[in-house]
C-alpha cells in the first residue's frame, strides 16, 4: 500500500458510464492514466464528482481494485466515505481497507445535520475502524456541517486523521489552521476557483475537479506555485478560471464530464437522476470549454519541478 503524503494534486476522479449507465472501465483507466502521466500525486474515487450518491459500495470497491491494478503499490488510491449511519461508515471503512484502499476522504453523516459532538464522534468511530490515513472533507456550503477549529482539536488525538479537504470557501481558514495546528493537519484546497489563492497561503495540495479534463494544466499550476514561479502559474490560472468555474455549479458532474469529453478522456454519460445537458445550457457550457481549448497555453517543463 502507498501511504498518502497529502500534498500535491489529487484528482477527484469521474466515474465514466456507458449509455446504459454501466461503468465504463476502459474509459476509467484512460482518464486514470492521463492523471498519472500528468504528475498527479494520488487519486480519489467515489467522491461527489465520482457520483458517489449513485454508486453501490460494491462498485466503489470495483473501481478501487481497477485503479490499484493499474497504478501499482506506490501510488495512493483514496476512497470516499459518504454514509448516513456510523455503522455503515465503519463497515465500509473496514471493507475498503481489506480491499486495498490507501486512505479515505471522510464526509460528515449524510442527510442528518449532526451537531459538533455527533460529528466528531462519527469521525472518530471511522478513524478507529481503520489504520489507513484519513482526510476530513470540510464543506459546509454543500453538506451544511462545518468542522470548526475546536472540532479539529478534538480530532487531533486520532493519529490517522491527517488532512482536511478545505472547501469552506473562506481562504483565511488555511491560515487559521496553520496558526492553530502548525503542520499537524495537511490542508488541501477543495474548490478549483480558490486553488491558486490557497496554495499561495500555504495549502499543501489541491483536490481538483477540472483536472479530470485538464490534468497537465492543473499539475503545472501547483508545481509552478511551489517552485516560486507565481507569474507563470498565474498566467495559466487566468486562462483556466472560466473553465474552473464549472466546478462550483450544482451540475458540476455534467459540466466536467462534458469538458473531459472535449479533451478526449471522458464521456458525457451520467446516472439518473442526473440528466444529460441540452439546449441553451449545453451550448453555453460547450462554448466555455471550446473557448479555452482555442487558446490552450503552452506549458513549461513543469514535470522537472519538485512535486
| Sheet containing 77-81, strands listed edge to edge, beginning at the edge strand earlier in sequence | 8-11, 205-208, 186-189, 161-166, 133-138, 103-106, 77-81, 43-45
Nearby residues of 1 by Cβ (< 8 Å), 6 or more positions away: 73, 100, 102, 132
The secondary structure of residue 23, as a DSSP letter, is B
Confidence of residue 1 (pLDDT cuts 50, 70, 90): confident
Q: Give residue limits of the domains in the chain.
A: 8-304
**pLDDT, mean of residues 14-23:** 98
To the question of pTM greater than 0.95 for the whole model, the response is yes
- Considering the four listed CATH numbers 3.20.20.140, 3.20.20.70, 3.40.190.10, 1.10.760.10, the one that applies to the domain covering 8-304 is 3.20.20.70
Contact indicator for 64, 77 with CB cutoff of 8 Å: yes
Q: DSSP labels for 99-156?
A: HT--EEEEPPPSSS---HHHHHHHHHHHHTT-SSEEEEEE-HHHHS----HHHHHHHT
Question: 166: burial class by Cβ within 10 Å (0-12, 13-18, 19+)?
Answer: buried
**pLDDT, mean of residues 69-97:** 96
Nearby residues of 196 by Cβ (< 8 Å), 6 or more positions away: 221, 225, 233, 234, 237
Confidence of residue 73 (pLDDT cuts 50, 70, 90): confident
According to the model, what pLDDT value does residue 287 have? Answer: 98
Structure confidence by residue, pLDDT tens digits, 269-288: 999 999 999 999 999 999 99
In the numeric block, the cell 471493507 is attached to 95
Q: What are the C-alpha distances in Å from 101 to residues 68, 78, 168, 251? A: 8, 6, 26, 28
- pLDDT of 237 strictly over 90: yes
Q: Nearest-CA neighbor of 32 among 22, 40, 119?
A: 40
Confidence of residue 164 (pLDDT cuts 50, 70, 90): very high
CA distance 15 to 23: 7
Confidence of residue 306 (pLDDT cuts 50, 70, 90): confident
According to the model, what pLDDT value does residue 124 have? Answer: 98
According to the model, what pLDDT value does residue 150 have? Answer: 98
Mean pLDDT across the chain: 97
Question: 105: burial class by Cβ within 10 Å (0-12, 13-18, 19+)?
Answer: buried
According to the model, what pLDDT value does residue 211 have? Answer: 98
Strands (E), the chain: 8-11, 43-45, 77-81, 103-106, 133-138, 161-166, 186-189, 205-208
According to the model, what pLDDT value does residue 26 have? Answer: 98
Structure confidence by residue, pLDDT tens digits, 78-89: 999 999 999 999
> Cis peptide leading into 155, omega within 30 of 0?
no
**pLDDT, mean of residues 288-302:** 98
CA distance 301 to 217: 11
Amino acid at each position: 500500500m502507498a501511504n498518502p503524503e497529502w500534498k500535491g494534486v489529487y484528482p477527484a476522479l469521474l466515474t465514466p458510464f456507458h449509455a446504459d449507465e454501466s461503468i465504463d472501465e476502459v474509459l476509467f483507466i484512460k482518464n486514470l492514466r492521463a492523471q498519472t502521466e500528468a504528475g498527479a500525486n494520488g487519486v480519489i474515487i467515489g467522491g461527489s464528482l465520482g457520483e458517489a450518491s449513485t454508486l453501490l459500495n460494491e462498485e466503489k470497491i470495483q473501481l478501487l481494485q481497477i485503479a490499484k491494478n493499474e497504478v501499482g503499490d506506490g501510488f495512493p488510491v483514496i476512497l470516499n466515505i459518504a454514509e448516513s449511519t456510523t455503522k455503515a461508515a465503519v463497515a465500509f471503512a473496514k471493507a475498503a481497507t481489506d480491499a486495498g484502499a490507501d486512505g479515505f476522504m471522510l464526509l460528515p453523516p449524510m442527510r442528518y445535520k449532526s451537531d459538533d459532538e455527533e460529528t466528531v464522534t462519527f469521525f472518530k468511530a471511522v478513524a478507529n475502524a481503520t489504520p489507513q490515513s484519513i482526510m476530513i472533507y470540510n464543506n459546509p456550503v454543500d453538506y451544511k456541517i462545518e468542522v470548526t477549529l475546536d472540532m479539529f482539536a478534538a480530532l487531533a488525538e486520532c493519529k490517522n486523521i491527517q488532512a482536511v479537504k478545505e472547501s469552506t470557501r473562506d481562504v483565511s481558514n488555511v491560515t487559521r489552521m496553520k496558526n492553530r495546528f502548525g503542520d499537524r493537519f495537511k490542508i488541501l484546497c477543495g474548490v478549483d476557483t480558490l486553488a491558486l489563492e490557497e496554495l499561495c497561503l500555504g495549502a499543501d495540495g489541491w483536490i481538483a475537479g477540472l483536472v479530470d479534463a485538464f490534468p497537465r494544466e492543473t499539475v503545472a499550476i501547483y508545481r509552478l506555485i511551489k517552485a516560486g514561479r507565481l507569474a507563470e502559474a498565474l498566467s495559466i490560472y487566468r486562462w483556466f478560471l472560466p473553465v474552473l468555474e464549472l466546478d462550483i455549479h450544482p451540475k458540476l458532474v455534467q459540466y466536467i464530464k462534458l469538458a473531459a469529453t472535449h479533451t478526449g478522456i471522458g464521456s458525457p454519460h451520467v446516472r439518473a437522476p442526473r440528466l444529460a445537458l441540452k439546449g441553451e445550457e449545453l451550448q453555453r457550457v460547450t462554448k466555455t470549454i471550446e473557448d479555452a481549448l482555442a487558446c490552450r497555453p503552452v506549458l513549461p517543463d513543469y514535470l522537472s519541478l519538485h512535486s
